[in-house]
Structure 1
């Protein structure tokens, strides 16, 4: 079975002390993960080392950076390089998040460069893709997402792709009042897997974990994760509430 993953994205939330308390509250539940399950915490840069020290003793728990630079090093004040993250033993990094694309104008080329740097350093990208409301309303979401995959990800080898986690974000269903149904989530996940199969073959497609990133909550996680092509979630707001995120972890297949 593919890895089933509950990935928290704290975004720009929590103070250092609040972050420590949230992790403590989650770990105090003594969650036992199966071999095919992983829990990943996407932590703000200042807290990465603290969080990594706490998860290092736990089976199948990891820390992710929320972003990285598309430059290897140099005069890029305020940026954080892949080598910096590697040097503090961070295993995962979220890239291409819809907020990075929308608010910081990150292009498919920028994200492609991040993919290469992360894989070159032996780190695992959590590659985000997904369409805005205008694209969904036009009915061209498949073409839009496939272009993101083609321009940012599908240049890597089949072996490299097996070290990538894909997260599908229906941007139109986040903060718009519209809601993505379970069937819509499964439909797009199945399309993404078919696009991988077309490019790399079915064996590779069956090995890649695809997470759902559209307002996953404790109340809908089990239904979403039961979909055959949904391998867990990239969780925003609900990951900031210990009892909710614990329920989401328990909902994994």
Structure 2
């Protein structure tokens, strides 16, 4: 029996979608992406839902692409699925709020870029580590680049350095960074404000806010997915990913 990696619950007009794949730190595996897409579709189709909350179990929000799967082949299915889920979040006619209580790496930042409101605990860290593995954040660039000033994007894309929640808020990656102990209350307050909106008001206002983002995803998404797949299949990246996975196994 396959264990579910994403859980959906609905209460008080809020659909809570929880990433729960602790064995690989919520990496964006084929199964997790498929279940995340299904949960978002269910939330969209439920007339009782006004707002979607995306969160994670465990200590890590998302560790990025599943490198074990990426080592298996050169198809663009994985990157294409990452592009698709970003588009689904951006076009969902209900606000998507992300609660960040743990680190986010690489591909996981695409979920952040596509969301409408992101509340992060001050202890949360971020890093776009692709450049250190012979890769580039191609598939997630479609949602990240519209959120970031060009200089900020160049800094974090090229360096691969780790940065904190306060800086993430300063550069537009997250909405607010709050003390760790205040995260739950801040998320509850944010959701309480959003559920007061009418379905039509929320949908049409979100459409205005995400129009440019969706246009970019539709224009560049397929090319970004294909470029990402080509990089994952390259000898340099394959060697770097194998070394990374070997280090993690021995750690």
- Shared fold (TM-score, shorter chain, > 0.5): no
Higher helix proportion (structure 1 or 2):
2
TM-score with structure 1 setting the length: 0.31
